[in-house]
Structure 1
Amino acid sequence: MRTKKSLLAGMALAVTMALAACAPGTPAAPSGGSGSGDAGGSTEPIKVGIIYSETGPLGEYGKTYRRGLEAGLKYATDGTSEVNGRPLQVTFLDDGGDADKAVTHAKDQIGQGAKIIGGTVVSGIALKLAEQAEQNKVLYISGPAATDAIQGVNDYTFRSGRQSLQDVATAGTFTEPDGKIVVFAQDTAFGQGNVQAVEAVLGAQGAEVQPILVPEDATEFTPFARQIIDANADMVFVAWAGATSGAMWQGLSQQGVLDQTTVVTGLGDRSTFGAYGAASDKIDFLNHYFPGCCDNPVNKAMVDEIEAAGGTPDLFSPDGFVAGQMIVHAAEQGDDADAMVSALEGWSFEGPKGSYTIRESDHALLQPMFQAKLVQDGDSWKPELVETVSAEDAAPPEKKQ
């Protein structure tokens, strides 16, 4: 249901970097465990290659993903690291944010007998790994990469995180479907992509979409703030990244934009919580995950395991955890990649964010999203849940084959 800001309806727009309580329930029965062997009686290891950014521009996101994945594998195998009596042999490989390096790793792992490839935070790398999956008929489960391009790209490609269209759909819950939305972004491929996504999702629902694109090297934001005010929009969707973020938010705040209309942006990882300064309590945030968003046994299991291992749960922890659940469920089918695909298509399960379903037609991972706010906590800021957006309301449009 679409609601106005005054009703605290939810949104969470998504930078590739980031974007009530989940209904409590019974924890999903862990898949796998130490059984007596698969259908063929094999006791050989199940080889899994995880290609992710341990280093590079998104290295911190990669580390968060890996901690979640290790927790998810432990949870889904009930601590045995085995599936039907076969040990999981998981190899972690650093792509460093480089697509060629990632492809080399994938080919090497497939050559060594891996039937499952997972990982990457980088959208461009996800597309390259999806190509390898189709060419070699192995299962690929993408990580936090949010690109919509891998939705339905081939039979062998799935994802364990959310995608940008889900961020945009969540953003749409902050306004009426026929309202006016300004997309305020840098005039880059990233900014233009957000404009296109908002037009595709919210424009299709009847919204009037007006882009206001700012040169990437801009440092003075007063004239652009005035354009936003003159647009008299029902909602301003901000998609911004980089070193000018602080100055941009200060400019919007000083010119009164945050007092005039609903301003929505994506809430990233915990390192960004202090970036909005005094504007923090005037911004509505769409969110993919933060540890306090969900009150369910699976989320508790994930948080407890990550903390016990010395880590800190963060934005992309569930992407790794869910990947672990999906890997184990697929591996229960043995070494047949087509059987793995069939097992994942249409599968519903309980994960850290609540109930997930893998849509059979295009492999979109349907999942709840969240509305959040930042509240002052001493000298810092912390997120609080405002509303859960249902998996159905946040679902991306179905991609026809």
Structure 2
Amino acid sequence: MSSQLVGKMYMWVIHRQGMSRNDDGQNRTTRLSRRRLIQSGAATTGLTALGGCLGGSGGGGSSGPVRVGVLSPLSGAWTVYGKAHRRGFELAMDEVNANGGINGRDVEVIVEDTQTDPKTVTEKAQKVIRQDNVDVVAGTFSSASRNAAAPVVTQEDKVLLYPTFYEGQDQENFPGTCNDLLFMFGIVPSQQAAPWMDHMTSEHGSNFYMVGSDYVWPRFTNKRVKANLQELGGNVVGEEYIPLGTSDFGSVLSRISNSDADIVFGTLTGTDTIAFAKQFYSRGLNEEFTYWTVDDEEFATQGKGPQAAHGTYVSFDYFHTIDTELNKQFVSKVQSEYGENAGMDTVGAAMYNAGHMFAKAANEVGSVNTDDIIGGLEGLSHTGPQGELKMREKDHQMVLPSYLTRVPESWSDTNDFEGMFEIIDKQESVTPETANCEFPLGKGN
């Protein structure tokens, strides 16, 4: 990554495969707006020189910048989620730096593209910790990528701020969950699906056909949803898990068409969920079945387009369209920074909350050392764009709102994030089920 030999240097440093780019693929070496400038009396080259000018580096020290390594899926099958993932954390750190940083120190963010590949996640996690000497790691997207990063942060004794909606913590997935070093900012099935099971079965029927991608999140999510469904007297009439990267869903759709399902419950992800929805619509199955997905946030829905999305039910803790004053301000900042057509989703909001809560915890405890950050985050309350939030101390899981939405027939413009979802109902605060972990949580095996 090259440096301009000038007397000013931006604190925001972004690494992507040897070249910095924005999330639309255009070359750049820094973000241009609202970044704090650091005056330097001499020309310098590279990140090492920057650390020297500031009198220190990260790694829990008390001088120089606080460093955060952000692991985002900026290429590959989950690129659809990567923009908001990265944007949320960028905006949070903009605001933190504008308000004095962390304990008087600026925050420097190092972004790495995980390429939607667990092996690359492991490599990038090792890189930001061992080479870039970060104080904390934020991001990864899927459960598989989180599980790839977790052994690294465990070995290196660094906190991981995980933003994504996921299956819930289970000791079987340790060290990807049930780990004192992991903090979960995303919604889980007991918050995302369970609150709406009675509504969906009462309104649309109790026979479910489950279709998911073949990895941890869909399988464990469906396991929990099936338990909720059985309590309501419902049935699973079909359950299939599809390899990531599938483009032809013809045989699956034929089995759905011939089933007694009332609701097709989707846990497909990435480009697969887009392809499935388009083929579901083209076969006219949207006229025969209710489609409820716990994946298709704003960017997946944008990728599907209006025709393939109309009538789809989606449930999350956050939507771009939420009518709160703080969310209006948040969306306004997103669009001011990234363009009037820029959107935001649940993962971006979680990254935004994670950034602010990390900074709040560090400022309260006066340190970015790992054990201090753990103590500072446990039990911490925060007001986010979606409402009131709290990081539960026992299992590091967020207490969050929950919203049930539907894509209305009136939605016709793929860039209209305001009109993409209509809110059917909401619950202001939903406490998740207690994690299936051994307590107290520990580091390492």
**Same-fold status (TM-score > 0.5):** yes
1:212 and 2:241 are equivalent in the alignment:
no
Aligned to 1:166: 191
Give the C-alpha shift of residue 293 in structure 1: 1.7
Give the C-alpha shift of residue 345 in structure 1: 0.9
- Given the superposition, is the C-alpha separation of residues 356 and 295 from structure 1 closer, same or farther in structure 2, using an over 3 Å criterion? same
**Cα contact 2:167–2:220 (8 A) shared by 1:** no
Inter-partner Cα distance in structure 2 for 1:124 and 1:377: 36
Match of 1:320 among 339, 345, 351: 351
Unaligned residue ranges in structure 2 (runs of 5+): 1-59, 243-247, 415-419, 439-445
**1:272 maps to amino acid:** T
Bigger relative contact order, structure 1 or 2, given CA contacts below 8 A and separation 6+?
A: 1
1:331 and 2:359 are equivalent in the alignment:
no
Aligned to 1:296: 325
- Given the superposition, is the C-alpha separation of residues 63 and 238 from structure 1 closer, same or farther in structure 2, using an over 3 Å criterion? closer
Give the C-alpha shift of residue 119 in structure 1: 0.9
Query: What pairs up with 1:1-400 in 2 under 5 angstroms?
Result: 42-77=62-97, 79-80=98-99, 82-111=101-130, 112-144=132-164, 146-149=166-169, 152-175=177-200, 180-185=206-211, 188-189=214-215, 192-203=219-230, 205-213=231-239, 218-219=249-250, 221=253, 224-228=256-260, 236-240=264-268, 242=272, 243-251=275-283, 253=285, 257-258=288-289, 263-266=291-294, 267-273=296-302, 275=304, 281-297=310-326, 299-311=327-339, 312-315=342-345, 316-332=347-363, 333=365, 334-377=367-410, 379-380=412-413, 382-392=420-430, 395-400=432-437
| TM-score normalised by structure 1 residue count | 0.75
Aligned to 1:13: none
Inter-partner Cα distance in structure 2 for 1:125 and 1:222: 32
**1:317 maps to amino acid:** G
Cα deviations by residue, 1:57-92 (Å, 9 ceiling, x for unpaired): 222312211111111223345x14611211212211
Aligned to 2:51: none
- Given the superposition, is the C-alpha separation of residues 250 and 323 from structure 1 closer, same or farther in structure 2, using an over 3 Å criterion? same
**Cα contact 1:289–1:314 (8 A) shared by 2:** no
Inter-partner Cα distance in structure 1 for 2:221 and 2:266: 9
Inter-partner Cα distance in structure 1 for 2:83 and 2:374: 27
- Given the superposition, is the C-alpha separation of residues 301 and 364 from structure 1 closer, same or farther in structure 2, using an over 3 Å criterion? same
Inter-partner Cα distance in structure 2 for 1:126 and 1:41: 26
Give the C-alpha shift of residue 257 in structure 1: 2.6
**Cα contact 1:183–1:210 (8 A) shared by 2:** yes
Give the C-alpha shift of residue 210 in structure 1: 1.2
Give the C-alpha shift of residue 42 in structure 1: 3.5
- Given the superposition, is the C-alpha separation of residues 213 and 276 from structure 1 closer, same or farther in structure 2, using an over 3 Å criterion? farther
**Cα contact 1:348–1:357 (8 A) shared by 2:** yes
Cα deviations by residue, 1:181-218 (Å, 9 ceiling, x for unpaired): 41332584576444323124444x44433141358555
**2:335 maps to amino acid:** E
| TM-score normalised by structure 2 residue count | 0.69
Inter-partner Cα distance in structure 1 for 2:191 and 2:162: 16
**Cα contact 2:66–2:106 (8 A) shared by 1:** yes
User: 1:54 is paired with a residue of what secondary structure?
Assistant: coil
- Given the superposition, is the C-alpha separation of residues 240 and 51 from structure 1 closer, same or farther in structure 2, using an over 3 Å criterion? closer
Inter-partner Cα distance in structure 1 for 2:123 and 2:156: 13
- Given the superposition, is the C-alpha separation of residues 92 and 248 from structure 1 closer, same or farther in structure 2, using an over 3 Å criterion? same
- Given the superposition, is the C-alpha separation of residues 114 and 376 from structure 1 closer, same or farther in structure 2, using an over 3 Å criterion? same
Aligned to 2:443: none
Unaligned residue ranges in structure 1 (runs of 5+): 1-39
- Supply the RMSD in Å over aligned alpha carbons: 3.2
**Cα contact 1:58–1:97 (8 A) shared by 2:** yes
Give the C-alpha shift of residue 269 in structure 1: 2.0
Identity of paired residues, percent? 20
User: 1:227 is paired with a residue of what secondary structure?
Assistant: coil
**Cα contact 1:116–1:327 (8 A) shared by 2:** no
- Given the superposition, is the C-alpha separation of residues 67 and 280 from structure 1 closer, same or farther in structure 2, using an over 3 Å criterion? closer
Greater displacement, 206-215 / 369-378? 206-215
